């Protein structure tokens, strides 16, 4: 199995908790001690390895996707340098050192995942999302490829509600799939312009746009201030805070990583 280097420090087991904590994720499947994902029709196996991860098969295509998926682009050293100067983060970081927030490798996947997670518990969201993937996705050996925008554009509202989507959310997913917005082009735009374009779509509000910036584009300053869990984490670690959005300023320019570390720290506390 070929080694794909991930910058140190990197804790593979800790970083991939997201894929199994709230339920089964067929698109990023944890099985046999490894992470499995379909990449352009082929299945890739990703496992812990010294100095990075073992990837099979490893080539230019799978390598780029796995680096993206595992959040290799985050500059943890710079973040830790900053965290050492911030009392709360300085306390939080040691226990979860090597945590690299995983990313959605694809924008459509990122947005549909957000729609499934709106308002409901992540357990419920995973269940619906899992059925969606199994129904519309293409199965590999272990994992199932996340459904493509093109396939979902051909779906019906009834198919989606049968999987557990509310009527409204079914409309949102179909509207997204059928919209004329170029999701790949968003990577070229500044944060605020990305948010404006995402929120122009029905069913995608500021919360979804912020997580898109954070978990697809890996924008350093993304700060999903409306997120219920992040709000709880901020209030738990900063009892004096009254304005969670404004509280993000103290982490500038590391709001994204700070949010992920606060969430993880709350989970493990």
Partner DNA sequence: ACCCAGGCATTGG
Partner DNA sequence: CCAATGCATGGG
**Cβ distance 162 to 169 under 8 Å?**
no
Listed in sequence order, the residues at least 6 apart from 109 whose beta carbon sits closer than 8 Å to its beta carbon are 27, 146
211 contacts DNA (rule: CB under 7 A):
yes
* Closest approach of DNA to the CB of residue 238, in Å: 18
228 contacts DNA (rule: CB under 7 A):
yes
Question: One symbol per residue from 171 to 210: x for binding DNA (CB under 7 A), - otherwise; what is it?
Answer: ----------------------------x-xxxxxxxxx-
| DSSP per-residue letters across 86-141 | SHHHHHHGGGGTT------SSHHHHHHHHHHHSSS-HHHHHHHHHHHHHHHSEE-S
* Closest approach of DNA to the CB of residue 141, in Å: 25
* Candidate ranges 33-41, 118-126, 138-146, 247-255; the one touching DNA (CB under 7 A): 118-126
d(CA 249, CA 244): 10
Residues between 129 and 168 that touch DNA (CB under 7 A): 161, 164-168
Picking from 151, 148, 143, 150, the residue whose alpha carbon sits closest to that of residue 27 is: 143
* Closest approach of DNA to the CB of residue 231, in Å: 8
14 contacts DNA (rule: CB under 7 A):
no
Binding site for DNA (CB under 7 A): 18, 23, 114, 117-124, 127-128, 161, 164-169, 199, 201-209, 211, 224, 226-230, 263
């Amino acid at each position: 199995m070929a080694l794909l280097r991930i910058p140190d420090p990197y804790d593979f087991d800790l970083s991939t908790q997201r894929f199994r904590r709230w339920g089964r994720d067929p698109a990023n499947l944890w099985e046999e001690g490894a992470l499995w994902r379909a990449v352009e029709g082929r299945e890739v196996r990703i496992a812990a390895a010294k100095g990075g991860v073992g990837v099979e098969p490893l080539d230019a295509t799978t390598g780029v996707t796995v680096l993206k998926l595992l959040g290799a682009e985050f500059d943890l050293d710079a973040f830790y340098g900053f965290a050492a100067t911030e009392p709360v983060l300085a306390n939080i970081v040691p226990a979860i050192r090597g945590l690299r927030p995983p990313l959605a490798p694809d924008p459509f996947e990122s947005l549909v995942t957000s729609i499934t997670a709106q308002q409901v518990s992540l357990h419920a969201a995973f269940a619906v999302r899992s059925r969606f993937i199994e129904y519309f996705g293409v199965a590999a050996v272990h994992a199932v490829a996340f459904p493509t925008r093109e396939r979902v554009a051909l779906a019906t509202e009834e198919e989606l509600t049968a999987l557990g989507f509310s009527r409204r959310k079914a409309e949102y997913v179909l509207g997204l799939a059928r919209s004329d917005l170029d999701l790949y082009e968003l990577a070229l735009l500044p944060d605020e312009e990305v948010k404006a374009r995402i929120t122009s779509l029905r069913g995608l509000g500021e919360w979804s746009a912020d997580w898109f910036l954070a978990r697809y584009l890996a924008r350093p300053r993304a700060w999903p201030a409306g997120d219920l869990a992040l709000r709880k984490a901020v209030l738990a670690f900063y009892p004096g805070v009254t304005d969670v959005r404004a509280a993000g300023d103290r982490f500038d320019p590391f709001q994204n990583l700070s949010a992920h570390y606060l969430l993880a720290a709350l989970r493990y506390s």
